Structure 1
């Protein structure tokens, strides 16, 4: 089974992004078969236009899982389901 891709969309200086990172990184490490990529919306004009008012954004295999605040239990459940 291919790895489940989690993408954390952030921008520099974003305190909510720092909060999200502190939750997402350890959870991704708990679940086998999940890879994490962090991308700044400032590096991609399309992402910037689409998500400027919503960061941080967590994508699971390209689909929006959550915006602004990450619920650890909800993310853990989604990752476990995605890798089952």
Structure 2
């Protein structure tokens, strides 16, 4: 039986960001429906280039080099993207 490659989303965030904390909780909730998918949270404060790029857009959810979501996190657009990729 062939196994599907593990897929990882990136959540760009920073400490103290309530929208980021909410996005992480909602992302956990959505990804429970999609085995084989996970996310890695990256603190933009630890990288000057990321901080400059995403400071006013966080939280940002990205897959490969494509931004799937930024700012206020909504589950349905992410769920739809995951359905397309699964």
- TM-score, normalised relative to structure 2: 0.86
Alignment equivalent of 1:22, drawn from 1, 25, 34: 25
The answer to whether the 8 Å contact 1:8/1:56 transfers is yes
Aligned length, in residue pairs: 83
Q: Which has the larger radius of gyration?
A: 2
Cα offsets for 1:22-64 (capped at 9, x unmatched) = 1111212220221210000011121111101110101122310
**Higher-RCO chain (CA-CA 8 Å, sequence separation at least 6):** 1
- TM-score, normalised relative to structure 1: 0.88
Residue 75 of structure 2 corresponds to 72
Q: Which has the higher helix share?
A: 1
Unpaired runs of 5+ residues, structure 2, are none
How large is the Cα RMSD of the aligned pairs? 1.2
